[in-house]
Amino acid sequence: MTIEEQIEFLKKGTVDFIREEDLKAKLERSQKTGKPLRIKLGADPTAPDIHLGHTVVIRKLKAFQELGHTVIFLIGSFTGMIGDPSGKNATRPPLSRQEIDANAETYKAQIFKLLDPEKTEIRFNSEWMDEFDAADFVKLTSRITVSQILERDDFKKRMREERPISMHELLYPLVQGYDSVALESDVELGGTDQTFNLLVGRSLQREYEQEPQVIITTPLLEGTDGVDKMSKSLGNYIGIDEPADEMFGKIMSISDELMWRYYGLLTDLSIDEIGELKQKCQSEELNPRNVKIYLAKLIIKDFYSEEGANQAELNFINQFSKGNLPDEIEEMKITSGDYKIADLLLKTQMVESKGEAKRLIKQGGVKVNEEKVAHAGIYVIVNSSIGTLLQVGKRKFLKVIAK
């Protein structure tokens, strides 16, 4: 990939890119020197339970890894071990070193489903914050003004509403920013709600005479309801540790509109590929339900295997077809591609001729993934990660799988 192509690749599905020309310079230098860039992502040290919303940014880390760069997954152990020092928030008790380590292991088990462990550093900010003394703290805080910190949206809002902000809350963005100095990060990723904190890092690196990091923010993913941000507490989440069957069912429950957002943020398909799928749905060449099945399998394959994804699909279909499907269904491997339904039926010898196929379709006797085929113009996706269930009449079943 050229640098321009790399930037396009990295840019897909991001919100802010501060600044593109800085990233370009860094990518060029890395290419010249062979020294990988250091890509930082900060994580909360409390018990991790990663859902698809979190994977939006993790997939972006993965994109950097695919280009050869080093990912630093930073666990905010320093703040975690303090808890809520004001003692006002009972739900934030301080974590012990053991708890932090246990949570780090859980994080690893989850993020390494997407990331390459060889190109990932797991770090803890207590490494340097434990060495910080009061003088270091005063020096750090001297690098930024009160107004700069109070510019943060939630601080501004609370000041305006005269709701109290504890002084230590102002220190946290500074600590987070100093982490970038300690790690000498080249790029920091985060959700759009983190933009302010990421910029503090950029500004502090400049103060500590480092090249400022590039900031890349990713959008907040809507939950399965399509309305609110995906979150465990709202119950609209899909956890990456959930059984494949549950993931499958939850993905199938989202709206067609949300499906395109998930395609954009949770799969590796290019913008062009997604556009094509979308266009084929609009022209009714593809059945949206099948495209959603395809999405579910693409996502699940990242956290399980391709086999696991296929099994989940089968289980999903069986669940809604109790008693209608035989226990065993014959499978056939064919070249991957998009097939017109009539061509596919002929190729797999489910029918004798295209004419028969068209007639049966007209009579409503052909189903793809248990759904009636409305007309003969419909395409069926057959590729490595999609197994498709064909049914002709009451008895003839075949599962086609791409070679």
Note whether 208 binds its own copies by CB under 8 A.
no
CB of 197 to its own copies, least distance (A): 15
Cβ closer to its own copies: 104 or 129?
129
CB of 81 to its own copies, least distance (A): 7
Distance CA(45)–CA(263), nearest Å, equals: 29
Distance CA(230)–CA(202), nearest Å, equals: 28
Question: What are the contacts of 247-251 at 24+ separation with CB within 8 A?
Answer: 247/296, 247/299, 247/300, 247/303, 247/312, 248/296, 248/297, 248/300, 248/312, 248/313, 248/315, 248/316, 249/316, 249/319, 250/224, 251/224, 251/292, 251/295, 251/296, 251/299, 251/300
- Can the peptide bond before residue 92 be classed as cis, meaning omega within 30 degrees of 0? no
Note whether 124 binds its own copies by CB under 8 A.
no
Note whether 130 binds its own copies by CB under 8 A.
yes
Q: Are 341 and 335 in contact, with CB atoms under 8 Å apart?
A: no
Number of residues in contact with its own copies under rule CB under 8 A: 40
Beta bridge partners of 122: 73
CB of 86 to its own copies, least distance (A): 4
Stretches 57-65, 137-145, 251-259, 299-307: which one binds its own copies (CB under 8 A)?
137-145
Cβ closer to its own copies: 83 or 264?
83
DSSP code, position 378: -
Note whether 200 binds its own copies by CB under 8 A.
no
Strand stretches in 200-351, DSSP E: 214-218, 331-334, 337-340
Note whether 5 binds its own copies by CB under 8 A.
no
Note whether 209 binds its own copies by CB under 8 A.
no
201: CB partners within 8 A, 6+ apart: 176, 177, 178, 179, 180, 181, 185, 188, 213, 215
Cβ closer to its own copies: 159 or 234?
159
Distance CA(223)–CA(225), nearest Å, equals: 5
Return the ∠ at Cα 76 (arms to 75 and 79), rounded to 5°: 155
Stretches 125-133, 287-295, 304-312, 394-402: which one binds its own copies (CB under 8 A)?
125-133
292: CB partners within 8 A, 6+ apart: 251, 252, 254, 256, 259
Note whether 325 binds its own copies by CB under 8 A.
no
Cβ closer to its own copies: 67 or 165?
165
Beta bridge partners of 60: none
Among 12, 24, 108, 143, binds its own copies (CB under 8 A): 143
Note whether 149 binds its own copies by CB under 8 A.
yes
CB of 252 to its own copies, least distance (A): 46
Distance CA(307)–CA(369), nearest Å, equals: 17
- Binders of its own copies among 354-373, rule CB under 8 A? none
Return the ∠ at Cα 144 (arms to 138 and 150), rounded to 5°: 115
Among 91, 135, 160, 328, binds its own copies (CB under 8 A): 135
- Binders of its own copies among 70-109, rule CB under 8 A? 78-79, 81-82, 84-87
Cβ closer to its own copies: 135 or 363?
135
- Binders of its own copies among 157-176, rule CB under 8 A? 159, 162, 164-171, 174-175
Note whether 150 binds its own copies by CB under 8 A.
yes
Which residues of the shown chain bind its own copies in the complex (CB under 8 A)?
78-79, 81-82, 84-87, 129-130, 132-139, 141-147, 149-150, 155, 159, 162, 164-171, 174-175
